[in-house]
Amino acid sequence: MEIRSSNNRNGMLFYIWFDWQTAQIKFNLISDYDTTLPFGCEIEITNKLEPIIEEFLRFPYHDGFPFEEVSDDDEQMEEGVKGETLKVFLFKLNR
């Protein structure tokens, strides 16, 4: 519906990723005018949705992070995560 009602003459980019901080699979739809996705980290574009779903299913903290695992070392953990590549499923929707 959003694509049909859009005044955009271009297509749209539909993309999905697993957000480990919220333990959720997220998706978005943007114009393909600019193909740069709005992530501040390295991304790996995939044409298969399965790796993202598998990453979500294997994630051990769907009910939250145990308090025992929260520590002053969180900065080190954050820096380690910043170096990881985010898998993003990308699909172009033509107008």
pLDDT the model gives residue 72:
58
Q: Which helix (H) or strand (E) holds 3?
A: helix 2-5
User: What local confidence, expressed as pLDDT, does residue 51 receive?
Assistant: 94
pLDDT of 76 above 70: no
What is the per-residue pLDDT across 42-63, written as a single tens digit (0 to 9) for each? 999 999 999 999 999 999 988 8
Predicted confidence at residue 34, as pLDDT, reads: 79
- The mean of the pLDDT values for the chain is 82
| Alpha carbon separation from 25 to 40, 43, 87, 91 (Å, rounded) | 18, 15, 11, 16
